[in-house]
Amino acid sequence: MLGWRDLYEQCNSCGKCSLSKNRKNIVFGDGNLKAAIMFIGEAPGADEDEQGKPFVGKAGQLLTKGLTALNLIRDRDYYICNICKCRPENNRTPYDEETERCLPYLRNQVALVKPKIIVCLGATAMKNIINKDWKITRDRGKWIERKGYSIIATFHPAALFRDESKKQLFWQDLKNIRQKYDELINKSE
């Protein structure tokens, strides 16, 4: 396992797939490096590629608004990143070979953060972290326990712009995550 600096440098110089050819910045991760909650999306978008930070565009702002309403603050309570560290052209879904090349970086990040809760944002994160056979509409909101982590999937916040009917379910999932966080924090104190 690499430390933070070495892992960042390895990601920054990565050329294992074609995504590295068009990136402006790698989008490594952001937030509390020892957080109890880790949010994982699929890949950066245009705003993220420009700024080098995850979830800063429209979808990220929506997620941040929801989490802030539940008193979950990025720098204090959670770490957020994506499976792929580089933006796929036109914000397409990353191909399997692209996610497979980046998964070792993500696993290293999880090992460094040691979160109690892992939240998969969207189908790509869910399929790569929980189970390839899961369906986001059917299986979102279900908790599983694996290797000492409580893991859940919810919609990617970008999906809420395409389908407003998902907003209420997404909000329920965020409240569920907050409740699990409170249970785990109180148990460890």
Q: What is the pLDDT of residues 3-39, one digit of tens each?
A: 999 999 999 999 999 999 999 999 999 999 999 999 9
CATH of domain 26-188: 3.40.470.10
The pLDDT of residue 26? 95
What is each CA distance from 160 to 48, 70, 165, in whole angstroms?
Answer: 18, 18, 8
The pLDDT of residue 189? 59
Question: Is the alpha carbon torsion for 115, 86, 54, 27 positive or negative?
Answer: positive
The residue ranges of every structural domain in the chain are 26-188
User: Which residues contact residue 73 at a Cβ distance below 8 angstroms, ignoring those fewer than 6 apart?
Assistant: 67
Q: Which two tokens stand for residue 97?
A: 């070979």
The pLDDT of residue 1? 87
Alpha-helix residue ranges (DSSP H) falling in the chain: 4-12, 46-51, 58-69, 74-77, 96-113, 123-129, 136-139, 159-162, 166-188
Per-10-residue mean pLDDT, the chain, length 189: 94 93 94 97 96 96 97 96 95 93 97 97 96 95 95 96 95 97 79
